[in-house]
Amino acid sequence: MMDPKQMTDEQLVDAWDKVEDGENLSDFEQAVIDEIERRNIDL
């Protein structure tokens, strides 16, 4: 699995779109949303 900090904006959004349970995030999913927020990417 890629490090979210090394993913493109498009890859991050795509990864977030695949999250099925937003209430119980995996460590990877949490890292993805943290990076999306850090970059101020609009979902």
In Å, the largest CA–CA distance within the chain is 25
Domain count, the chain: 1
Q: Using an 8 Å Cβ cutoff, are 12 and 32 in contact?
A: yes
* Direct distance between the N- and C-terminal alpha carbons of the chain, in angstroms, rounded to an integer: 22
Q: Domain range spanning residue 35? A: 4-39
What's the confidence (pLDDT) of residue 1?
A: 80
- pTM equals 0.90
Q: For each of the chain's 43 residues, which pLDDT tens digit applies? A: 899 999 999 999 999 999 999 999 999 999 999 999 999 999 8
Spatial distance between the Cα atoms of 1 and 43, rounded to a whole number of angstroms: 22
What's the confidence (pLDDT) of residue 5?
A: 98
Q: Using an 8 Å Cβ cutoff, are 28 and 5 in contact?
A: no
